[in-house]
Amino acid sequence: MEDLEMICFNIISNVGMARGSYIEAIDLATAGKFEEAEAKVKEGAEFFLQGHHAHADLIQKEAAGERTELMLVLVHAEDQLMSAEAFKILAEKFIALNKKIEGKN
């Protein structure tokens, strides 16, 4: 498998794990388990950061003049990265909202 494909799958894998953690955080916040929800957001952020670093490396290489071949798997990796970032924002909002509803903010 080519190097670029491996980088893409690294991004997809890590941000997929992040998104899963953020979704779990939303479920936990809805159940009023705020400490567990916040721990899941933190866990997700660690996975997200790994995917983000891999993506940033690609951007730095391109900025240095190394062309990146446009591949469907790269587009998918970037889509998953953005989706995970959106889920993080939603998870944080769900935690804050549910804390407010329960009077624990």
What mean pLDDT value characterizes the chain? Answer: 95
Q: Which of 81, 75, 79 is nearest to 52 (CA)?
A: 81
* Domains located in the chain, CATH noted: 3-102 (1.20.58.80)
pLDDT band for 29, please (50, 70, 90 cuts): very high
Among 52, 53, 55, 76, the one annotated catalytic: 76
**Terminal Cα distance for the chain, rounded:** 49
76 catalytic residue (yes or no): yes
Whole-number CA gyration radius for the chain? 16
Q: Pick 46 or 102 by higher pLDDT.
A: 46
- Indicate if the alpha-carbon torsion angle 24, 26, 27, 33 is positive or negative: positive
pLDDT band for 60, please (50, 70, 90 cuts): very high
Element (H or E) spanning 32, and its range? none
Name the maximum alpha-carbon separation found in the chain: 53
Which pTM was predicted? 0.91
pLDDT of 2-15, one tens digit each?
A: 699 999 999 999 99
